[in-house]
Amino acid sequence: MLQGKVVIVTGAAQGIGRHAAKTFAQEKAKVVIADFNHEQAQKTAAEIGQLTETIALPVDVRNEDSVKQMVDQVIHHFGQIDVHINNAAIVPHFAWGIPRWPRISAMPNDFWQRVIQTNLGGTFHGTKHVIPHMEERKTGHIINLYGGGGITPAGACAYMSSKDAIRTFTRYVAEEVRDSNVCVVTFSPRVPIVTEGAPEEAFKRLPGPEILGQGFVLAAQLPMEQSGRCFAYENGKLVNETAREG
């Protein structure tokens, strides 16, 4: 069903984004590895390119011009965009045992801005610039990443402010584009994930991105009636997190 579809994954050079990109490649979708680290993105694209047609494009999701240029390059190369995954984010991997982020009273303004502009701003930029191409063809899926963070001890405020805002953003955008047959959902990994760069001991305690299985592939095939909702992957299928919380 996804064979030949064009999928953009931001922050796809490594971690969860890399896993998502690989699952789409296995389905023979055409995959765009969009990442700030272009050198690593090229390495990932070369690896995944053994499965399907793949290109690596540099992008700074905080910069609207950079995102627009990336989207324009995708259209020029592939002619369409079927799935866009807003994955790129600054994540406080506290579960890895690294130092916690500052409390709000001690947080530098530029730190706050970098987190919000990457996580929420990047989601806004990506969504804004793929929608016109999807609306033109009356089809498309946009998947926005959600994550969790404990209220105590302090440190997760900036991250969770951005992620909770993304869920609200998703609900509202879903309604804006519903008549255009563009499905917009949030995907939640639910648990801390260990990826490249984590301390060795964290790999012994935490699951890797593989725990997310075919979650992204399934989210990219959700029907329109599910638009605006939040999903997680469990036992080989998607679970409606919005219903569980409500």
Residue 168 CA to chain centroid, in angstroms?
15
Q: Tokens standing for 168?
A: 């609200």
Catalytic residue selected from 146, 159, 172, 233: 159
Q: Is 159 a catalytic residue?
A: yes
DSSP H helices in the chain: 15-26, 38-48, 64-78, 109-116, 122-137, 157-176, 200-205, 215-219, 241-245
Q: Tokens standing for 72?
A: 């324009």
DSSP string computed for 72-97: HHHHHHHS---EEEE-------GGGT
Q: Cβ(138)–Cβ(180) under 8 Å? A: yes
Residues noted as catalytic: 159
